[in-house]
Structure 1
Amino acid sequence: MASAVSGGVRVLLRIEGLCMFAASLLAYGKFGDGWGSFALFFLAPDLSFLAYLAGARVGAVAYNLAHSLVGPLALLAVGVLAPVPAALTAGIIWLAHIGLDRALGYGLKYSAGFGFTHLGRIGRVRAEAG
């Protein structure tokens, strides 16, 4: 498994996540469809957790697809350029979700298991067998 980021770089990446979350909230306040829709769809990317039922490798791929910036940025581009208001709304909500996850330390996953992320280990760290 590749090593996770640590130290000041990890802190900076988590601050970036917090800024992404805050900017998304501001954007949603201006361009969104109401806070009820935001609350309803905010956790939708976490449905990708279900892929872990098929194993860690499949789960990591599904989680990373749902938590990469590529999807929401593509939706935002369609929302602005087409224009498609629903795509803009969905892209903002999706970015807010990713931003909060990253601020809390939930990074992109490695296939070693759910707790192994690019932002470091999450969850309980098991004691090394001596």
Structure 2
Amino acid sequence: MKIRKMIALEYLIAFLGSVFFYWYFEFSFLYFFLLLFLPDITMVGYIVNTRIGALFYNIGHSLVVPAILLTIGFITVSTPLLMATIIWLAHIFLDRMLGYGLKYDDAFTKTHLQQIA
């Protein structure tokens, strides 16, 4: 199996896992579908230039912030935070499954996933 296909499969499983947990916690799927692509608002930085665009996009598409918020959501038992964070993670996993990785600052189309053989 090619490495890119294996990575896509991993992210598909992660996406399905996030959908499962969203369902398990009985959150509204209306919100899920309405908010799934909200993290793409981070592309607004590209209006300024590719460096700022990549920075904003990568902040919105890195797993670090959602992982921290997910932990806080579990500790505080915050339903809105858990719901939003699971949607955010699902978005990231869906993007990565489709081959959209973190951006390099020299071009919108150049991502970390493209650097993998």
TM-score by length of structure 1 reads 0.83
Tell me which amino acid in the other structure corresponds to 2:59: L
CA 1:32/1:79 → structure 2, altered by over 3 Å: closer, same or farther?
farther
1:23 equivalent in alignment to 2:17: yes
Measure, in 2, the Cα distance between the counterparts of 1:102 and 1:14.
7
The one-letter amino acid of 1:25's match is V
What is the CA distance between 1:81 and its match in structure 2? 0.8
The structure with the greater share of residues assigned to helix is: 2
Fraction of identical pairs, as percent: 42
- Kindly indicate whether residue 96 of structure 2 is the aligned counterpart of residue 99 of structure 1: no
Q: Which stretch has the larger CA shift, 106-115 or 10-19? A: 10-19
Residue of structure 2 equivalent to 1:70: 64
Aligned equivalents of 2:102 and 2:7: distance in 1?
12
CA RMSD, Structure 1 to Structure 2 (Å): 1.5
* Among candidates 35, 39, 43, match of residue 41 of structure 1: 35
Of 105, 108, 111 in structure 1, the residue corresponding to residue 102 of structure 2 is 108
TM-score under structure 2 length normalisation? 0.91
SS in 2 for 1:105: coil
> More strand per residue: 1 or 2?
1
In the alignment, which of 70, 75, 92 is matched to residue 81 of structure 1? 75
How many angstroms does 1:11 deviate by? 2.8
Q: CA shift at 1:32, angstroms? A: 4.5
Distance 2:73 2:83 in 1: 8
Unaligned runs of 5+ in 2: none
Shift, 1:58, TM fit = 0.4
**Distance of 1:106 and 1:99 partners within structure 2:** 9
5+ long unaligned stretches in structure 1: 1-6, 122-130
Counting only pairs closer than 5 Å after superposition, residues 112-123 of structure 1 correspond to structure 2 as 112-120=106-114
> Which 4+ stretches in 1 moved above 6 angstroms?
none
